[in-house]
Amino acid sequence: MENNNRYARQILLKEFGEAAQKKLLNAKVLVIGAGGLGCPALQYLAAAGVGNIGIVDFDVVDLTNLHRQILYSMEDIGKFKALAAAKKLSSLNPEIKIHPFNFQLTNKNSLELISGYDLVIDGSDNFATRYLVNDACVLLDKPLVYGAILRFEGQVGVFNLEDIVSKIKTNYRHLFPEPPDPLSILSCNEVGLLGVLPGIIGTMQALEAIKIITSIGKTLCNKIISYNALNNSFYDFEIVPTNNDTIPFPKTESDFLNFDYEWFCNSNSKQISAYEFDELRMNEKLTIIDVREIDELPFVDEFLFTHIPLSKFESSISQISIENKIVVFCNSGSRSLRAVNSINEIIPDCIAYSLKDGIEAWKKKNTEILN
């Protein structure tokens, strides 16, 4: 350490001291995304003296970023965030090493990149990256400090860090095994965001990272906290490990390299629930197709449909009318999903849904309502 005065105030803390400062100096932290969450996290990590900081972002600074990403200023507009952030942080603390990675994180580059760091901070802004970062950290056994924001609410938590007492280690997949339906996702670009909120959550992420590195205090391992900025409330959730076999995520490096995160996070839009199906049926004309084989039960006479068994489906696709939205059903929802995938391949412009959990779930839902 060149100049101890810089860190004098935190070294004074008896729980922290020279020992913790040395741990920070030797630590390597990778921050994914230099946006609303990444900026405050980066500023506090650099200021606190984390010796080696990586910044991954491929985006450029925009005027609409400045109300929350206060690491940047007017002259940075149009510049790459990773580079602009690295420059600002170096002038804040020239004693540490900062490495900008001006590219998008993918399956192909993430394992090599993350393996060079001790800890990862997720400040990304989309589900595909969040699942990718989580799965990579699980494979490489790196602690992950998670943060996410929406309107006035924020979530912060620590994944893939073993609890010293219980030996339990959980991750994002134990909290949200699968991404939400893309149609139900609200984006901050559409619904807005108060600039202070990512400042709070990103700062909490930096705090958790510092606690993990220096082994002070109690971290949020196996927990997430939900913060509501409008009524100043915190609510914590304990994450419980589930049997990993039931969660579809890549467990080996080659599985990981072949996992399509974009598809994983967008494929759900091909499915609709029994409720959505009924709502759609009431409101518009649909082309409904049964892809079960002849004489399969249950018998359906509640609505009109065309019958094209899956075995003859591909050869018959060209005959399907694409004038209306298409809903395909089978017994359980898996054959219909395959049929929808075929429709999308052959007729990319049409809107086709698979009835989730099949006609059995639909029958169950409608008999429950009658009873």
Partner 1 sequence: MKINILVFGQLYDITKVSQLTIYEVNNTEQLTRKLIEQFPELSKFKFSIAVNKKIVQQNTILNNEDTVALLPAFSGG
* Closest CB 285 distance from partner 1, rounded Å: 21
Which of 15, 141, 236, 260 lies at the binding interface for partner 1 (CB under 8 A)?
236
Nearer to partner 1, 273 or 342 (CB): 273
Secondary-structure breakdown of the chain: helix, strand, coil percentages, each rounded to the nearest 5: 45, 20, 35
- What is the spatial distance between Cα 322 and Cα 306, in angstroms, rounded to a whole number? 13
Annotation marks residue 188 as catalytic: yes
Site for partner 1 in 309-348 (CB under 8 A): none
Nearest alpha-carbon partner for 118 in 31, 17, 207 = 31
Q: Closer to partner 1 at the Cβ: 12 or 165?
A: 165
Q: How far is CA 85 from CA 40, 98, 273, in A?
A: 11, 9, 44
β-bridge partners, 325:
286
Under rule CB under 8 A, residue 219 binds partner 1: no
Please say which residue, 1 or 66, places its beta carbon nearer to partner 1: 66
Provide the minimum distance between the beta carbon of 278 and partner 1 in the complex, in angstroms, as a whole number. 9
330 is catalytic: yes
User: Binding residues for partner 1, how many (CB under 8 A)?
Assistant: 50
Span 187-216, contacts to partner 1 by CB under 8 A: 187-188, 193, 198
Please identify, among the stretches 30-38, 73-81, 280-288, 301-309, the one whose residues bind partner 1 according to the rule CB under 8 A: 30-38
Of 39, 221, 265, 330, which residue is the catalytic one? 330
| 177 binding partner 1? (CB under 8 A) | yes
Q: Is 245 in the site for partner 1 (CB under 8 A)?
A: no
Token look-up 């509501």 returns 228
CA pair distance 36, 122, nearest whole angstrom: 11
Q: Which stretch binds partner 1 (CB under 8 A): 100-108, 158-166, 233-241, 250-258?
A: 233-241
Is residue 40 part of the contact set for partner 1 (CB under 8 A)? no
For residue 178, count other CB atoms closer than 10 A to its CB: 15
Instruction: Point out which span in 13-21, 45-53, 237-245, 313-321 binds partner 1 (CB under 8 A).
Output: 237-245
Q: Which residue in 276, 296, 314, 360 binds partner 1 (CB under 8 A)?
A: 276
The C-alpha atoms of residue 4 and residue 102 are separated, in whole angstroms, by 32
Dig out the tokens for 13 from the structure.
């803390």
Strand-pairing partners, residue 286, are 325
CB 21 within 8 A of CB 10: yes
Q: Is residue 163 close enough to count as binding partner 1 by CB under 8 A?
A: no
Contact 53, 89 (CB under 8 A): yes
Cβ-defined contacts of 131-135 (< 8 Å, 24+): 131/172, 131/173, 131/179, 131/249, 131/261, 131/264, 131/265, 132/105, 132/106, 132/107, 132/261, 133/32, 133/105, 134/159, 134/160, 134/171, 134/172, 134/173, 135/173, 135/249, 135/250, 135/256, 135/259
Determine the interface stretch with partner 1 among 10-18, 47-55, 141-149, 213-221 (rule: CB under 8 A): 141-149
Region near partner 1 per CB under 8 A, out of 180-188, 210-218, 291-299, 310-318: 180-188
Residues that bind partner 1 (CB under 8 A): 33, 35-38, 122-127, 130, 147-150, 153, 155, 174-181, 183-188, 193, 198, 226, 235-240, 242, 246, 273-276, 279, 368-369
Question: What is the set of active-site residues?
Answer: 188, 330
